[in-house]
Chains A and B, each alone.
Chain A
C-alpha cells in the first residue's frame, strides 16, 4: 500500500519538444470566456471551449480537455461507530487537490492512452496528486531512502477516493468521456461547467491531442474566476478587517431591529 502515493504528476513534461519530433498534427483551442465574474446573480457558469485539429495523416486522433482550478487543500474526517454513536475521526489534511478539476474527451481516458502516460501527464481524476503529507513520513529502510510510510495504511485509497467522490458530489470534479464533440471535420467543442461553489482564482486548461496513445500536441489556456462588485468588496472587507466587519454587522442588525419597531409602532 505504500507505493500508492502517486509520483509527481503535476510537473507535466515540456510537450512542445515531442510535438515537433513526432508528428505534424497540431491542435489549437480557445475559450468563449476567459474571465468568469462572480456577482450576486452568480449561479455557476458554462463556458464553451472550442478548437481545431490539424491532422494531415489518416491516423485517428483523440482530444482530451483538462481544466484545473486553483489548489484547495482539504481536511477530511471519517465517521466510525463507537458504541452505537457515529463519531468523527481525527481530521486528515490532503494537499494538492485542485478546487476544480474536469476532463472531457472523445473516448474514455483509459482507451486513449495507457496508465503510465496518463499518470505522467496528470490527466484524469485518478491521476491527481492528492496526498496527506502529515500522515506520511519518509524513512530509510535497508539502506534505501525515501520509503514512504503512511499512517493511514490500508485505508489510504479509501480516503483518497473519498476526496474525489465528495468533490464530484459538489460538481467540482467531473469526468466526461464523451465531453469532446466534433461539430465538423477537425472542429470540436467541449463544455466547461463551473458550479456556484467553484473556487475563485486562475484556472488552467490543457487541450491534449493524442495519437496512438502518445500526446502529440497540446494547447494551454487560462481562465480566471473572480468575484466582482459588491460581492468582492464584502468578501475583502470581511477578511481584511474582520473586527470592523463584525461590529458593522451588529450595528446593522440592531438598527434594523430598532427601525422595525419604530415603523410598526406608528402604523
Chain B
C-alpha cells in the first residue's frame, strides 16, 4: 500500500468511524485514575460487579452530567447483600469483500451480579449470571475468604482466569487468541494478594473452560501487576496441560497516563505443543484513550496477530476508533468502527465493522 493510499484509507475509515465499533475496554479507567482493579470491582482482578466505590464513581465522575436522584445507587440492598448488572445492545454494519453487506441489531448481553456478604469484608459468595439473550448461563460463581488484614484471599468455584489486561471486548486478538476471556471461565481455586501497589493472583483450574476435569493435568495462571499513580506494569504466565493441550502463554502488559490520554499495551507469546511442529503465536495490543471532555472518550486501538511464527506473510491486524459518551449516570453510548487487515485471499480477515452500542449499568 502506498503512503498516499494509506492516508486516504485512514481518513476514509476515520470519517466512517464517526458514525460507528465495539471496543469495550474498561481498564483504562484504572490507568486514568491510578487505581487498581479492586478499587472499583468486587473481583480484585477486575471485571463484573462494581463495588460501592465503583458504583459511585460511575455515577458521578464518569458521566458528563449527574442527574440528581437523591442518594446514589450503591447496589447495596443491605450490608449482607448487593446486586448489580449490565445491559449491552448494539446495531452493526459489516462489510466483507465479495459478500453482501450485513446490518443487524443485537442484544449482546444482560448480566446480573449478586454478592452475598455472609461476613462483611471477610467471607462472600458471588454470582455473575448472563441471563440474556437466550437462557441463563453462569459465568462466575465462587466463594471468597479474605484474611483479617484484607491482603490475602482465596476463592473457589467458577471464575474468570487472571491473565493480562481484562478487556471487556472478547473479540480483541489478545483475548480471543489466548482463550482467556469472559466466555471461558474455569473451575478451580485462586489465591490473591493485594497491597498498596501490588496486585497478584495465582489460580489452579481444570483447564477445560468450565467443562469436566481431566486426569492429564490442570491449568495454572499467575498474574502480577505493580501499580503507581501514573503508570503500571505487569506480567502473566499460563500453562495448561489438560487433555494433552500443553499450551504455554506469557505476556507483559503496561499502562501509563500522559495528560488526558491513558495508554494500555499488552504483548503475548503463545506456544502449543500439540501441533507438529510446535505452533508459536504472537499477539499484541496498543490502545490510547483520550478523555476529550468529561463524559467523552475517544479510544484508538491497534492490534497485531501472527498466527504462526513459522509461516511468513500470514499476519493479521485490526484497528479501531470508538467514541464513548456517558451523558449521565447508568448509560453509556459507543459509536465506532473497526478495520481488519489480513491475507488478501481470506475475505473474513479483511472486513470492516461499524457499530453503535448502548451500555446500561447499575
A binds B: no
Residues of A within 8 A of B (CB): none
Query: Which residues on B are within 8 Å of A, measured CB to CB?
Result: none
